[in-house]
Structure formats: structure tokens, C-alpha cells
Amino acid sequence: MAEQKDESPKEDRVTRIDGAHQVRSKELEKPVLPSQESAEAAAGASGPHDGEQLRNQAGQLARHLRLKQQQIDHRETQLNARVAQLERELRSTRLSSQEREHSFREREQELQQQVIDLRQQLQSHAAAEVSAEQIQDREAAERRKREADLERRERRLLEGQTRIAAEADSLRIAVDRLRAERTEVERELQIDRQQLVLRETELVEKERSLLANVERSRAAAETQARQMGRTSDEERAAVSKLQEKEAAVVKASLWLDEQMQSLEEERRLFDQERSAVQEENAQQRSSFEQWKQDAEQDVAATREKLARRQATLDEARESIEQMKREVHELHREAIEMSMVAEQLWQRLAKRGSVAELTSSLGKLRAKLADEFRLSQDELSHKEQELHRLAAKLGDKQDQLKEQRADLQEWLERRYTGIEDQAARLVARELELDEQQTEIQTREATWREERRQLQAQLREVTKRLVPVAA
């Protein structure tokens, strides 16, 4: 048995070419039995007892070999089943390996496509940042242009204020000149009024003297008519005196006509002066109204321009806020994509060099962090610049409001002064009209009195002519 155990490992095996399980040779598996001649020789040599012993040993050996053969067959069956199972497992492993390799290749292509998409997105983000920078440059240029426009408007406003101040000075000079002329006219009118009063007094005295003379002449004529008995010399003397008195009355009438003509000429000159003053006042009022209208139009245009400027700045602020939100959204997407890229790189690290992937990932993170920090700094700077411009615009608006309020107050004062002056001129015109009406009334009265006096003289003359005859 020990010999058989020692001989069993030494049995030869035949290996398949394809690397499958090993199969023992059928010839080697058959036990080598002693031949009949050797058995008989051994039996004849050893004797009957030895032959029996050999047969027993041969039977035991045959049983043992059969048992061993059965064990070997069973082990061979198990081994064949195990080899078949291993072959199936190997085939399934090969298939799964091929499938995994195919899936790995597809995943690798997907990852490469994702990396390409990520790079394209990074490029698009860079292009968006470039476009944002271009937009910011355009907005800065537009802001500079608007500031230059605002400065030009401020210069025009200052020039307009200077022009308004110059016009106000000229208007003040014109008003002073008008006041001086009005004072001179009032002084001349006062002198004329005094002269008219004196002339009226003189005329009244002369009328009274003439009436007294006429009354005396009439009384004398009546007395002479009653004294019919006087001599013709006395009558001729009376007629002569009456003629002299009539000549005096005619002379007084001529003087009165001259005075009336002089008064008419003075009234005509006064009317001319008053017309000139009224025309000048009308021109000044028209020029002031035109200047006031121009100033109001300038103020309205400035207010409208400021409103448009404010609306433009509000739109620019809203666009900047919108761009800021878009940039924040782009940065958030970039961070998300960087996280996705990090996960992809972690997955790809299983197939590549970890050190290279870590270095690339670190560079990518640093680049994204720098870009995000620069974008944040730029946005903060732009926001500060926008706040500074808004504060500057607010100061400019406050200054313009103060200037506009001062200008409006000055305009109101000037308008009130001119209205007061116009009211005084109108009152003066009404006063002059009243004086003219009074003069015309007195003139009519004088004419009526002269007509009555002339009628009385004619009546007296008619009465005296028959007496003289």
C-alpha cells in the first residue's frame, strides 16, 4: 500500500494545448498485472504455500487497484466537472471583462466628451467674461461720454446764467433809465400842470376883467341910450370907446386862441411822449416776457435732460445688476462644473497617473479660484464706481436744484418788480388820461364862455349901432 501511495504521484499527465484541464492517459491508468508465466514460475519456485500467499496478495492487490481505480475515476469526474465549471467561469469572466472593457471605453468617451464640454463651457465662460469686459468698457465709454455731455450742459447752464445775469443787469439799467425818464416826465408834467394852473388863473382873471368891461360897457351903453339928449360928440366918443373895448375883446380872443394853440401843441407833445413811453414799456415788457419764456424753456429743457440722464443711469444700473447676476450665475455654474470635473478626474484617476491628475486638478482649481476672485474684485470695484457716480450725480442734481430754485426766485422777484412798475405806469397813464380829460373839459368850457362873450359883444354892438346912427 505504501508503495502504491508512493507511485501514485509519479503518474504522468497529458496537458491540453488550449490550457484546459489535464487528462490522464488511459493506458497509464490501467494497473499492471503480473503475467501468468511469472505467477506460475513464482508458484513453482516457492511451493504451494507461497503460491496461495501470492494469490491472496494478488487478490488483495487487485481489489485495492480496483478501489483505487474507482477513486481515480471519481476524482477524474470531479476534476472534469471542476474544469468545465472553471471553463464556464473563465468564459463568463472573459465576456464580463469584454463588457466591462466596452463599458469602460464608452465611459472614457463620455468622460472625454464631458471634458471637452467642460473646456467649451470654460471657453464660453471666458468669452462671456470677455464680452462682459467689452460691455463694461462700452459702458465706461458711455459713462465718460455722458459725463462729458453733463459737463457741457453745465457749462451751457453757467453760460445761460451769465447771459441771464447780463440781461438782468441790462434790464436793471433799462429800468433805472426808465425810472429816470419817468421822473423827468413827471417833473415836466408837474411844471406843465403848474403852468396850466397859472394860465388858467390868468385866463380866468382876463375873462373876469373882460366880462367886467363888457358889463361896464353895456351899462355905459344903456346909460348912454337913456341919455338921448347928449351931443353927438359924446355919442361918437362912446362909440369909439365901445369899438376900443371890442378891439380889446378881439385881442383877448386872439390871445386866448394863441394860448389854446400853445396848450394844444403841449398836449400833442405830451401825447407823443406818452406814446413813446408806452411803446418803450411795451417793448421792454415784450422783451422781458420773451426772456422769461426762454429762461423757462431752458430750465424745462435742463430738467428734461436731467430726467433723461437719471433714467439712463437707472437703466445702466439695472443692466449692471443684471450682468452681475448673470456673472454670479455663470460662476456658480462654473463651480458646479468644476465639482463635476473633480469627480470625473477622481474616476479617471483609477486609469491614469494620480500625481498628474492631482496636479492638473489643482491647477484647474487655482485657475477657477483666481478667475472667481478677479471677477468678484472687478464687480466690487464696478459697484463702488457706480455708487460713486450715483453720489456725484446726486450732488450735481442738488446743485442744479439749488441753482434752479435761485433762478426761479430771482425770476419771480424780477417779474414782481416789473409787474409793479407796469402797474405804476398804468396808473400814471390813467392819471394822465384824467388830466387830459380835465384839460379838454376846461377847453370846452373856455370855448363856450368865449362864444357866449362874443355873442354878448355882437349883441351890444348891434344895440350900439342904431344909437350911433
Say what the pLDDT of residue 210 is. 66
Rounded to whole angstroms, how far apart are CA atoms 188 and 273? 11
Q: What are the C-alpha distances in Å from 395 to residues 139, 271, 389, 433?
A: 21, 56, 10, 56
pLDDT one-digit tens code per residue, 396-437: 778 777 877 777 787 778 767 777 776 777 777 777 778 777
Rounded to whole angstroms, how far apart are CA atoms 345 and 361? 7
- Could you tell me the three cell numbers for 416? 414782481
> pTM of the full predicted structure?
0.29
Residues 6+ apart with CB under 8 A from 463: 221, 225
Say what the pLDDT of residue 256 is. 63
pLDDT band at 247 (very low <50, low <70, confident <90, very high): low
Q: Is 33 a residue whose pLDDT tops 50?
A: no
Per DSSP, 352 falls in state S
Say what the pLDDT of residue 329 is. 74
Whether the CB-CB separation of 108 and 351 falls below 8 Å is answered with yes
Q: Is 8 a residue whose pLDDT tops 50?
A: no
The residue type found at 333 is E
Average confidence (pLDDT) over 150-173: 67
Classify the phi-psi angles of 47: left when phi > 0, otherwise alpha if psi is within -120 to 50, otherwise beta. left
Average confidence (pLDDT) over 439-449: 76
Per DSSP, the three-state class of 47 is coil
Q: CA 452, 454, 460, 462 torsion: positive or negative?
A: negative
Most distant CA pair in the chain: distance in Å? 254
Q: Is 30 a residue whose pLDDT tops 80?
A: no
In this predicted model, which residue has the larger pLDDT, 117 or 36? 117
Q: Kindly give the interhelix angle for 354-468 and 48-226, rounded to the nearest 10 degrees.
A: 10
**Residue-wise over 345-374: b if at least 16 C-beta within 10 A, else e?**
beebeeeeeeeebeeebeebeeebeebbee
Q: CA 45, 46, 51, 53 torsion: positive or negative?
A: negative
Rounded to whole angstroms, how far apart are CA atoms 140 and 381? 13
Domain assignments of the chain as residue spans, ordered by start: 124-468
Average confidence (pLDDT) over 381-407: 76
Average confidence (pLDDT) over 188-196: 69
What is the phi/psi pair of residue 34, to 5°?
A: -70, 145
User: What is the CB neighbour count within 10 angstroms for residue 316?
Assistant: 16
What is the phi/psi pair of residue 230, to 5°?
A: -75, 170
Whether the CB-CB separation of 309 and 150 falls below 8 Å is answered with yes
pLDDT band at 200 (very low <50, low <70, confident <90, very high): low
In this predicted model, which residue has the larger pLDDT, 223 or 434? 434
Average confidence (pLDDT) over 71-98: 80
Rounded to whole angstroms, how far apart are CA atoms 127 and 123? 6
Say what the pLDDT of residue 369 is. 67
Whether the CB-CB separation of 346 and 319 falls below 8 Å is answered with no
pLDDT band at 15 (very low <50, low <70, confident <90, very high): very low
pLDDT band at 145 (very low <50, low <70, confident <90, very high): confident
Say what the pLDDT of residue 115 is. 64
Q: What are the C-alpha distances in Å from 48 to residues 38, 57, 340?
A: 15, 14, 95
Rounded to whole angstroms, how far apart are CA atoms 350 and 339? 18
